[in-house]
Structure 1
Amino acid sequence: MSLYSQINQNKTKTILIMLIFIVLFSGFFYLIGKYFNSPGAYLVLGLIISSFSSLGSYFYSDKIVLFTTGARPASKKEFFDFYTTTENLAIAAGLPMPKLYVIDDSSPNAFATGRDPRHAVVCATTGLLKNLDRSDIEGVISHELSHVKSYDILVSSIVAVLVGTLAIISNWLMRRMWWGDSRDDNNRDRSPFFAILFIIVLIITPIVATLIQLAISRKREFLADASGVLITRNPEGLASALEKIASYPPLKNASPSTAHLFIANPFKKKGQSSWLINLFSTHPPIEERIKILREM
């Protein structure tokens, strides 16, 4: 797959994800409205929330993701090596210099976000900058710049915001079901069928959110690994970095909605692997990625 076809595919995928989200979210609210005896009002509410979430995720996904992860701007003075390494690799990749942020966390990890190369952000944990050597850091940053160049960041950032919206609304509806409407006499007149359907929908919502994340394709991590190596010409740098990242405990400042953004699964513990875990993981097995890199 050429870079240009990958960019076009990601742009098309972004539009489709936003439209699917609006349709599913509105339908979800319509079913909830049936339970609360006001389907029309809930359908309109669902359309409004999903439309604003989709537009907001396009223009402000980077700011939302950075706020969610607790990231702060990385000054050139404080993180000089991080700045100069990124600057050099951005020039090599033919990209504008992205904004740099850091997360105060001892566990090494990194991600890129934004809607296009002109609005890109590369974020690394302080653990990554302190515990990895320069060639490792170059491997990680080149991987993230590959996501920027191919517009993977557009799809990933929008999915992070939309999945987060879905989780917040589901939590609110669950609370409303159990507590907010307990004094409503109309509860007695509600069909048991819709009550059961409502509970089922709330249970499967986290599964749907995970499937949305998986829908953006774990294949992009392999492509970013390969593209990153084309920038540095040093596959061992990234392989070594992934090996070290996998040896540390899970990241503290991550959430399920942003997990797919990171270079490595921020929740997976060392040695934790099975076919079921890998099936529903937002990342391909790190051992497989290292093996492919070392065969280059």
Structure 2
Amino acid sequence: MLFDQIASNKRRTWILLLVFFLLLALVGYAVGYLFMRSGLGGLVIALIIGFIYALSMIFQSTEIVMSMNGAREVDEQTAPDLYHVVEDMAMVAQIPMPRVFIIEDSSLNAFATGSNPQNAAVAATSGLLAIMNREELEAVMGHEVSHIRNYDIRISTIAVALASAITMLSSMAGRMMWWGGAGRRRSDDDRDGNGLEIIMLVVSLLAIVLAPLAATLVQLAISRQREFLADASSVELTRNPQGMINALRKLDNSKPMSRPVDDASSALYINDPKKGGGFQKLFYTHPPISERIERLKHM
């Protein structure tokens, strides 16, 4: 059951990444069709931009992410309980020992970052360390170590890069349409054209307008799938589903983080640091904790 769930979540994530590439290709084709008189040329340029964005973000240093979140590095002497739990989980997962950080915040949260298991780090809030018992802390750190082992961070980084590329291309196209330019000339050329050309024009405009929103929703879906996978993988490491369930219940009752958290970092945390209701739930980076608990109960 556990391995079936892990395999299913992996398949869904790769399907979502494929949708991301298709969205990027669609926007590139639309921009090329409207402004370059070559949809294929725009498609190629868009894929190149997405590839460059992904590479640049993959190789960002861990220090930048930790600095953005106000984390300080600790070791075996300064935070022995956390350090030893991370060490145990890394040993079971058969990955190198990641660097360990603490964020001074009374909320309950944690995250992992890094481009690969050889260059990874985990962070936990001081509130989490104060509230969680040993089994619950093992479950949370098992979750974060699983993100590292499963290369979730790299996948999330690629998703952020592709979403950024789509938004950039759409924004560029919007500015070009605002100032006239090739889009207006394409409209003039197609005014007397056939119905297919008019349909292509409308579809291209819709793609440019709607693709950024679609990219955001796909990015959130990827993040949610990886959270389910990390929960299941943590249980695989600890052999203790109840520990993960108890930890999630405490996380569910936790207040939002007191320090500002940027949108890019929000998806990294085990618990959405920006809690809200109503329409905001559509843009949650994490699945509802109640749903995560239900999945664990059926493992």
Judge same fold: TM > 0.5, yes or no. Answer: yes
Work out which of the residue numbers 284, 289, 293 in structure 1 matches 2:292: 289
Q: Any conservation in 2 of the 1:10–1:151 contact (CA below 8 Å)?
A: no
Residue 147 of structure 2 corresponds to which residue in structure 1?
147
- Cα distance, 1:253 vs structure 2: 0.8
Alpha-carbon offset, residue 36 of structure 1:
3.4
Q: Which amino acid aligns with 1:208?
A: A
Q: 1:68 to 1:150 in 2, by over 3 A?
A: same
Q: Where in structure 2 are the equivalents of 1:180-259 lying within 5 Å?
A: 181=179, 189-191=185-187, 194=201, 197-198=204-205, 201-215=208-222, 218=225, 220-251=226-257, 252-255=260-263, 257-259=264-266
Report % sequence identity.
Answer: 33
CA distance in 1, matches of 2:4, 2:291: 27
Contact 2:6-2:232 within 8 A present in 1 as well: no
Map Cα deviations across residues 38-94 of structure 1 (whole Å, 9 max, x no partner).
Answer: 64775554243122123334x426649826953545222554432232112222333
8 A Cα contact 1:71 1:101, kept in partner: no
Distance (whole Å) between structure 2 residues aligned to residue 177 and residue 73 of structure 1: 46
Indicate the SS of the match to 2:246.
helix
Does 2:86 correspond to 1:90? no
| Partner deviation per Cα, 1:168-224 (whole Å, 9 max, x = no partner) | 55445545544xx26x6x675451864884355223322233224425762x43443
**Worse overlay, 71-80 or 17-26:** 17-26
Corresponding pairs, count: 284
Please list every run of 5 or more consecutive structure 2 residues that lacks an aligned counterpart in the other structure.
189-197
**Hey, what's the Cα distance between the residues in 1 that align with 2:135 and 2:6?**
27
Contact 1:10 1:155 (C-alpha < 8 Å) held by counterparts: no
Partner letter of residue 86 of structure 2? T
Q: Which protein, 1 or 2, shows the higher relative CO under an 8 Å CA cutoff with sep ≥ 6?
A: 2
CA distance in 1, matches of 2:33, 2:80: 57
CA contact (8 A) 1:113 1:157 kept: no
- Cα offset, 1:286, TM superposition: 0.7
Residue in 2 that maps onto 1:28: 27
The answer as to whether partners of 1:10 and 1:154 remain within 8 angstroms in 2 is no
1:11-59 CA-to-partner distances (Å, cap 9, x unmatched) read 9976x877765564244133224433564775554243122123334x4
Query: CA–CA distance in 2 between the matches of 1:108 and 1:86?
Result: 17
Contact 1:109 1:263 in 2 (8 A): yes
Q: TM-score with structure 1 length normalisation?
A: 0.71
Q: Deviations over 1:237-273 (max 9, x none)?
A: 3223222222234443141x5544332333343xx48
